[in-house]
Structure 1
Amino acid sequence: MSELDLPQTLRGIDAAAYLWSIADDRLHWSPALPVSLASLGTVSTGAAWTERTDPEAMTTRSSAVFGSTSRDEGSGVPYELEYALRVPARDGWRLVWVEDVGHWFAGTDSKPAHARGVVRVVTGRHEADQRLAIQTRFDSLTGTLNRLRLLDVLESMLADARRYQTSCALLLIAVENIGAVNEAFGDTTPDDLIAGVAKRLRSRMRVGDALGRFSTTIFGLALTNCSLPELSIAARRFMDAVHEEPIETAAGPVGVRVTGAGIVGPRHASSQVEMVARVSETLAEIRRKKRGSFLAFAPSQAREDRRRRYVQLAEELIAALNARRLELAFQPVVEAKTGALRWYEALARITGEDGETRAISGHIEAAEKLGLVHLLDRRVLDLTIAALKEHPGRAIALNVSADTTTDEEWRERLIEALKANPDIGSRLLVEITETAAPGDLAEAKDFVEALRGFGVRLAIDDFGAGQTSFRTLRALGVDLVKIDGNFISDIARSTEDQAFVRAIVGLAREIGFSTVAEKVEDEKTATLLREMGVDYLQGDHFGGAKPLTGQNGAPV
C-alpha cells in the first residue's frame, strides 16, 4: 500500500490544515494549498484571518476559541463552524464559504495556547442548503412565505400580542376570477396574475407584517399591532391595491377581483389554529354573500353551536367507520323516455348504536369542515368496488368529495381496483360535485383520462350550484351533467327554475353531454322534465335508496 500523501489528500477535498500559535498569533498552513484557497496562504496571522472573514458572519474562529466555556482536559476542546471568507477577485472580493473544524489546546494557565484544524471549501453545499431553505420557507411563484412559514410567523405574533397585551390579525385575500382567466387566456396567465397580486399586496405592507401564499388562489397577511378597526382599514388598503388597475400579464392587462376576510387575535381567537379556522369560515361566508368585499370575524352563538355540532357529527362518523357501521344504499337512475333502469347512485348510510339507519349528509359536511372526509370516501370506494364485483350486471355512480379529487391514496386505491377487476370500469360512474371540481384543469384532465382508460365515465354533480362553465366541462371530457336538485324540487311552480333547466339542457345537447335531474318526487315534475329533454331522472318517485339485490332492476 502506498504511503499517505496528506497534502494531496487535502487538495483533493478542497481543504487545508493549519496550526494557529495564539501566543504570537502566527498562522501556519499545510504545503501546496488547493487552488480555491491558494490566496489565503499569505494570511499569516489570526488577526488577518479574522479580517478576511465576512463581517456578516454569525461567528468567527477567534470567538469560537476565546468564547468557549469548555475546559481543556488534555485532549483539546473541539470547535466546528461555517462562515464566508473574502478572497481576491478581478472586481474586488468574492465570498467563499468554508467549514472550519479543529481543537484548541490550553497552556499552563488553562487559557487557549494554540489551535489545530482544517478548513474545507463548502460553497456548493452552502448554496444548495440556502436554495433548500428558501424552497421550504417561500413560495416559488410569488416569493412570499409558504403557508407553514406564514403560520409560524402568526404564532409568534399571537404570542407577542398576549405577552404585551396588544393585538394582531390574520387577513385572507382570495383571488376570484382565476378560472375565467385560465379559460380566456391559457394556463400561464393565472400564474402571472397570482404573482402580480402578490406584488401589489407586498407594496402596501408595513414593517413587521408578513405575506404568504395561504393556498393556490388565497393570500394570507399576518398583521402585527392590528386592532379590529385597523383591520378593516388595512383590508381596504390591500384590496384597493389589487383593484386599482389591471395587472400586466404575458397575455396583456387583466383585471382582478379579490374578496377579503380577517380576524383579530387574541380577542377573537386564542390560538393560531383557531384564528385560521374562524377566518376561513368567515371567508367562505362572505364569498357566498358578496364576492369582492370584506368581512371581519365576529363572535356568533349560532356559529359556535354549528361548530360543536360538526364535532359531534364527525365523532359519530369516525365511530361508525371504526365499527364498520357505515353501509351503502342505492338509488335508481332511470331513462327519462322509457323509465328503464340505467344505473344506481351509491349513497352512504350510518347504522347508529341504536340500530337505526340514517342518511349522513350532515356528517359529510362536518367531515369536510374538519378535514376528515377522505376517511369516509375511502371506505365508500371500497364498498362500491365490492358491490360492483358482487353484482356484475349493475352500474353504480360513486360520489367524490372536494378533498378526494386530490387524495393520492384514494386515486391509487381506485386505479388498483380497476386494474385487478377489468370488468368494473365500464360500470362505474364517478360524480364530482361542481363546487368541488379541481381548480387545476391540467391535473383534472390527467385524472379523468386515467379513469377513462378503464372505461369509467365522469359526471358533474349539482351543476348550477357553482361557477363551472360548459367550456371547462368539455375540456374535462365530462359524460353527464347532474342538474342541482334545488332547481328541480320546485320546478313545476317556478318559471325561473324552468328557464334555467331548459338552458342547461339546450347547451348540453349542443355540446354532447347527457343530463340527469335529481330530486324528482312526483309524476308532474317527471313529465315536465321529459318535455324539456332531460335524459335521465332520479328521485323518490322512481325509488328510494335501498340495499342492492339481484332483483331490484334490470342490468345496464
Structure 2
Amino acid sequence: MNPSRRSADLGAPAAGHAGTDLAGDIAGVRQRNLFWAALVLLLSIGAVTWYFVNDSQLRLIEYKALNLAEVVARHATAARSAYADHAVSKLDRDGTGSASANYLAERGNVPLPAQFLKLVGERASTESGGLYRYRPLSKWNLGAGQELRDDFQRWAWARLEAQDRAAPTGPIAWQSAWRIEQVDGERTLRFLRADPASSASCVQCHNAIERLDTTRASRVAAGVAPGKQWSQHQLLGALEVQVPLAPVEALAAEQRRVVILAVIGLTLGGLLCLGLLVKVGTDRSRALTQDLAWRAAHDDLTGLANRPEFQRRLQTALAASKTAGRRHSLMFLDLDQFKVVNDTCGHRAGDELLRQIGTALRSHLRAGDTLARLGGDEFGVLLVDCPLDDGRGVADKLLGCVANHRFLWRERVFELGVSIGLVEVGADACGVADLMSAADIACYAAKEAGRNRVRVFQSSDAELARRREDLGWGERILAALASGRMALAVQTARPLHERLAVRSYQELLLRMYAEDGTPVPTANVIAAGERYQMMPSRIDRWVLQTACEHVRTGRLRADAEHIVAINISGASLADEAFLHHACETVRASGIDPRGLCFEVTETAAIGNFLQASAFIRALKALGCRFALDDFGSGLSSFSYLKNLPVDFLKLDGAFVRDIVSDPVDRAMVGAIHAIGRALGIPTIAEWVETDAIRDAVQALGIDYAQGYGIERPRLVSLPSGLDADVVEGKGRERTSGAAATTVSAGLD
C-alpha cells in the first residue's frame, strides 16, 4: 500500500484520537500533578509531623532526664544526711564507734558520710540497670575517682563556684549545671548539683581535716593551695548524675518510624489526629508534672501554700528588700480554741474548720499576697510591698474576720479567735529563719497576753527580746546532753526514828553545766524543757537511764532498804510513750526495782489524775515505788490522796522552813503527818536546813528529813570533759553569799 494513502485513510480518525489523547494527556498531567502534589503534601505532613514528634520527644527526654537527675541528687544527699544524723551521731552518742576514713581496718567504726555517699552511688549506679549513674566529687577531694577529672566537671564546678559567697548568712539558692555530651559513645545528660556545707558540724570536721599535716602535704603534691577553710553553706562538694539517653532515644526512634509508616498509610486527617494525640500526650505529661509540683508546694487539706513554699516566697521577698529597698509584712496566725473543736467534734470537724478559715482569710488579702498553712492550726501571711503600718491594718481585718466567723457543726456553733504575730520584712532583716522566729515569738506573746490580739515584733521590745533569747534554751539543753555536760547529784533523806524499813532515801537532782564548767540554774533548764516538750522525750529519759546505769555500776546503792528517787515531770506522767520506755528501761537494767522510787509533784498528779494513776500502777506492778512531792501545796490533796497508791509523802518545804517560828506551819505539818500515818504512808520533810528544824519535825513524828541541815547534794559522777576543781569552784562562786534556804529551794 501506498504510504500516502495510508496516511490519508487514517487522517480523520487520527484527529479524533488526537483530541482524546490530548484530553487524556491533560488529565494524566493533572493526575500526575495531583499525585505529586499529594505526595509532596503527604511528605510535608510526614516531615512536619516527624519534626514535631521528634522535637517534643527530645524535649520530653531532656525534661524527664533532668527531673530524674534532680531526684537522684536530692535523694542521695538526703540519704547521706540521714546517715550522718541518725547512724553516725548515734554511734558517737552511744560511744560504740565513730565514722572513720579507715573504717575497713577499724573494728566498730563506719564510713564517713562522704564515703557512705560514694558507696551508695556505686551500688545504685550498678543496680539501676543503666538508668543512671552518680558519684560525689569535689575540687578539694583528692581521693581516687572524686576529683575533677574532665572538662565538664571543671566547667560545671566553675559555674557552681561563681554562685558561692565568701560569708553566706544563710543557704544559697544554687543553680545546678548540666549539658548533654557523648560519654563512652552515648548521648548522656551530665548534671552537677551543689552539695554545700549544710551543718556546722560538717564545716568543723572538714576544716579540721584541712589542717592536718597529711592533708596539707597531699594538697601541695597535687598542686592545690593548702589550708582551705569553709563557712557554713559554702560550696564543699557536688554530686554528678549521669543519665544515658540512648535507651530512651532508641525507643523514641522506633516510635518515630511507626509514626511515619502510619502517616504514609493514613489520611491527612489521621495524621493530624496522630499529631494531636502526641501533643495531648506531651501536654498531659506536663500537666501531671505541674500537678505534682503544685502538690509539693501546697497543703492538701486547705489548698494553701505549705511551709516550704511559704519560706521560698519569703526568701524572694527578703531578697527584693535587700536589693530594691522594698518593705513587706510577715504574719504568724495561731487559732484560739481550735483544740476545743477538734476534741469535742473530732478531726473531721477540725479539718472543715481549717478549710473555712483559710477561705475566709484569703478573701481579705490581695492577689499578690501569700496565705499558707504552716502546720496544725497555724497560718502564715506574707503581704508584699506592704509596710508595717499598713500590715497592722490588714492584721486587724484578719483578726475581725476570724472573730466574726461562726463555725457550725451538727447544730453546734463555735466562736473562734486568733493570735497574730506581725513583723516587718526590710533590708535589715538577717534571714528567713530569723523572720520566722520573730513572727513566732510575737504570735506566742499575743497568745500569752490574752489571745485574740495582734502583737508587733520590735527589736527594742524587752519582753520579745527575752522570749527570743529563750528559744536558744532548747539547743543549749541538746548540746549539753550530747557533750555530757548533764549530771546527777544525790541528796539523801535520813530517817528520824528507828525501825523504819527504808534506811536511806536518795533523791537524784538534775545538774547542767556550761562549757566553762559554770552550773546552769536547774529551774531554767526544767522550765525550758517543759516549754519545748523535751521532758518526756529527752530529759526525763536521760535521767532514768543514767540513774539505772549508776545503780548497775555500783555508784548508787538501790535495794529494798536504800531507795534511789527520780523526779518525773507532769508531761512525762501523761505520756504513754514515756511510760513504755520507763518500764522497758527498768526491766532491761537488771536492777532491783524495789530500790527505785519515782517522785511526782502533787500538782502534776492531781492535774493528770487518771494518767497518773495508770502510770503509778504500771510501774508499781514491776516493784517500783512512788513518792508524792510538794504535798500540801494543793487544797484538794487530801481527797485525792487515798486514791493514789503512793509509798512516801514529801511535805512541801514552804511549810517546813518556818516550822520553828510559825505555829500555823507547824500545825499543817502535823496534820499532813497524821494523815500519812493513818494511811500507812511514811512522811519526808524537805528544806530541813538547821538543827532546830530537824528537832521540830522529829518531835512531830515525821519519819525522814532532807535538806542542807542533813546533807548537801553531791555529784554522783563528774560531767564529761569537765575538771572536778573547775566544777566545784564554779559552784562555790554561784552559791557564795546566798542564804541556805535560797540555795536549797533551787535544788529540786
TM (norm. structure 2) is 0.45
Selected match of 2:509 from 347, 353, 357: 347
Which residue identity is paired with 1:179? K
| 2:339 pairs with one of 179, 203, 207 | 179
Q: Please give the secondary structure, in 2, of the residue aligned with 1:139.
A: coil
* Structure-2 residue corresponding to 1:231: 391
Counterpart check, 1:45 vs 2:208: no
> Cα–Cα, structure 1 residues 176 and 316, in superposed 2: closer, same or farther, change >3 Å?
closer
Aligned residue identity for 1:102: E
Q: How does 1:158-177 map to 2 (within 5 A)?
A: 158-177=318-337
What residue in structure 2 maps to residue 420 of structure 1? 588
CA distance in 1, matches of 2:354, 2:628: 31
Taking the aligned partners of 2:424 and 2:531, their CA distance within structure 1 comes to 21
Q: 2:573, 2:258 → 1: CA distance?
A: 56
**Aligned residue for 1:494?**
none
Report the CA distance between 1:297 and its aligned residue. 0.5
Give the superposition deviation at 1:273: 0.7
Q: Which residue does 1:543 correspond to in 2?
A: 706
**Shift of the alpha carbon at 1:250?**
4.3
Within 5 Å, give how 1:294-443 maps onto structure 2: 294-300=454-460, 302=462, 306=466, 321=481, 324-330=484-490, 346-350=508-512, 359-365=521-527, 376=539, 378-387=541-550, 389=552, 391-393=558-560, 394=563, 396-400=565-569, 414=582, 416-421=584-589, 427=596, 429=598
137-146 or 216-225, which moves further after superposition?
Answer: 137-146
Higher CA-based Rg:
2
Is structure 2 residue 432 aligned with structure 1 residue 272? yes
Counterpart residue type for residue 304 of structure 2:
T
- Measure, in 1, the Cα distance between the counterparts of 2:372 and 2:346: 25
Q: Superposed, which structure 2 residues align to 1:66-81 within 5 Å?
A: none
Residue 150 of structure 1: SS of its match in structure 2?
helix
- 1:207–1:141 Cα change, 3 Å: same
The alpha-carbon deviation at position 349 of structure 1 amounts to: 1.0
Which amino acid in the other structure matches residue 547 of structure 2? T
Q: Cα–Cα, structure 1 residues 133 and 70, in superposed 2: closer, same or farther, change >3 Å?
A: closer
The question of 1:245 aligning with 2:405 is answered yes
Q: Which residue of 2 aligns with 1:139?
A: 299
CA deviation after TM superposition for structure 1 residue 360, in Å: 2.5
Looking at structure 2, the residues matched to 529 and 187 of structure 1 have their Cα atoms a distance apart, in angstroms, of 48
| 1:384–1:398 Cα contact (<8 Å) kept | no
Unpaired runs of 5+ residues, structure 2, are: 1-39, 64-178, 191-246, 260-277, 495-499, 677-682, 689-704, 717-748
Q: What amino acid is the match of 1:200?
A: A
Q: State the Cα distance separating 1:263 from its structure 2 match.
A: 0.8
**Residues 506 and 417 of structure 1: is their aligned pair in 2 closer, same or farther, counting only changes over 3 Å?**
closer
Q: Which moved more, 1:264-273 or 1:225-234?
A: 264-273
- Is the CA contact 2:599–2:627 (under 8 Å) kept in the aligned structure 1? no
Structure holding more strand per residue = 1
Q: Secondary structure at the match of 1:207?
A: coil
Residue 65 of structure 1 contacts residue 79 of structure 1 at CA under 8 Å; is this kept in 2?
A: no
- For the 8 Å contact 1:77–1:103, the answer to whether it is kept is no
1:554 aligns to what? none
SS in 1 for 2:305: coil
Distance 1:132 1:448 in 2: 49
- Number of corresponding residues: 434
> 2:356, 2:627 → 1: CA distance?
37
Please state how far the C-alpha of 1:528 moved relative to its aligned partner.
Answer: 3.6
Q: Which residue of 2 aligns with 1:204?
A: 364
Structure 2 residue matching 1:170: 3-state secondary structure: strand
Deviation at 1:280, TM superposition (A): 1.8
Cα separation, 2, equivalents of 1:219 and 1:434: 34
Cα 1:388–1:128 change in 2 (3 A) is farther
Matched residue SS, 2:367: coil
Question: Does the CA contact (< 8 Å) of 1:398 and 1:431 recur in 2?
Answer: yes
- 1:203/1:413 CA distance change after superposition, 3 Å: same
Counting aligned pairs with the same residue, the percent is: 18
Does structure 2 conserve the Cα–Cα contact (< 8 Å) formed by 1:201 and 1:238? yes
Seen in structure 2, the aligned counterparts of structure 1 residues 527 and 268 have a Cα distance that, compared at 3 Å, is farther
TM-aligned CA distance change 1:532 to 1:272, over 3 Å: farther
1:274 Cα offset (Å): 0.7
Distance of 1:420 and 1:368 partners within structure 2: 27
Q: State the distance in 2 between where 1:367 and 1:309 align.
A: 15
The 8 Å contact of residues 182 and 188 in structure 2, kept in 1 or not, is answered as: no
Q: What SS does the corresponding residue of 1:196 show, helix, strand or coil? A: helix
* Equivalent pair of 1:171/1:260 in contact (CA under 8 Å): yes
Compare 321-330 and 280-289 and name the one that shifted more: 321-330
CA 1:220–1:330: 2 relative to 1, 3 Å: farther
Structure that is richer in helix per residue: 2
Structure 1 counterpart of 2:512, which letter? Answer: I
Equivalents in 2 of 1:66, 1:547: separation in Å? 68
RMSD, aligned α-carbons: 6.0
Equivalent residues of 2:421, 2:455 under 8 A apart: yes
Distance 1:239 1:429, change over 3 A: farther
Distance 1:368 1:453, change over 3 A: closer
Q: Distance in 1 between matches of 2:559 and 2:282?
A: 64
* Equivalences for residues 482-521 of structure 1 within 5 A: 488=633, 501-502=634-635, 504-505=636-637, 508=640, 518=652, 520=654, 521=656
Residue aligned with 1:102, SS:
helix
Q: Which AA in structure 1 matches 2:49?
A: T
Q: Say whether the 8 Å CA contact 2:548–2:591 is kept in structure 1.
A: no
Question: Could you tell me how far 1:395 is from its partner in structure 2?
Answer: 5.8
SS at match of 2:249: strand
Shift of 1:247: 1.0
1:61 CA displacement = 4.6
Alignment CA distance shift 1:411-1:480 (3 Å): closer
What residue in structure 1 maps to residue 249 of structure 2?
A: 102
Deviations 1:440-493 (A, max 9, x none): xxxx98x99899756589xxxxxxxxxxxxxxxxxxxxx99978x9x94xxxxx
Match of 1:213 among 352, 373, 392: 373
Give 2:734's aligned residue.
Answer: none
Confirm or deny that 1:257 pairs with 2:417: yes
Note the C-alpha offset of 1:66: 13
| Distance across 1 between alignment mates of 2:181 and 2:546 | 68
Gaps of 5+ in 1: 1-20, 29-43, 51-58, 81-99, 106-113, 458-478, 489-500, 550-556
Is the Cα–Cα contact under 8 Å of residues 318 and 426 in structure 2 kept in the other structure? yes
Q: Distance in 2 between matches of 1:375 and 1:233?
A: 42
Q: 1:241 to 1:46 in 2, by over 3 A?
A: farther
The answer as to whether partners of 1:282 and 1:296 remain within 8 angstroms in 2 is yes
Separation in 1, partners of 2:666, 2:492? 14
SS in 1 for 2:393: helix
Contact 1:176-1:259 at 8 Å conserved across structures: yes
